[in-house]
Amino acid sequence: MAQDEKIFADGFSFKRSEKAPDFVVGRLSMKADDAVAFIRMHEKGGWVNLNIKTARSGNHYVELDTYEPNQGGNKPKPAPAPAPNEVDDDIPF
């Protein structure tokens, strides 16, 4: 599956209400059978991460978060800091 392919969360619906007070972000509804099946299909380590996004149409949708951090510690290592008294001979002045 392509990494940019959206996986819509079956059984989940998010809606904002313009009439709701400012502290209410929105309403998440779940169709139990569909949501439970979706969770069981996509859970990893007991968790399913979902993103609530806004479509170009302005409507909201719930999408599976497929991000996985780089496993194995393949992070690039930062360059070591120069010693405090080290002089760089390449400085032109």
Q: Is residue 55 part of a domain?
A: yes
| Domain count within the chain | 1
Q: Is residue 18 part of a domain?
A: yes
pLDDT in tens, 36-76: 999 999 999 999 999 999 999 999 999 999 998 887 666 66
Q: Is residue 38 part of a domain?
A: yes
> What Cα–Cα distance (Å) separates residue 59 from each residue in 36, 51, 62, 64?
24, 14, 10, 17
Q: Is residue 6 part of a domain?
A: no
Q: Is residue 88 part of a domain?
A: no
Domain that holds residue 31: 12-64
Q: Is residue 86 part of a domain?
A: no
Tokens representing 36? 């439970």
pTM tops 0.75: no
| Model confidence band, residue 1 (pLDDT cutoffs 50, 70, 90) | low
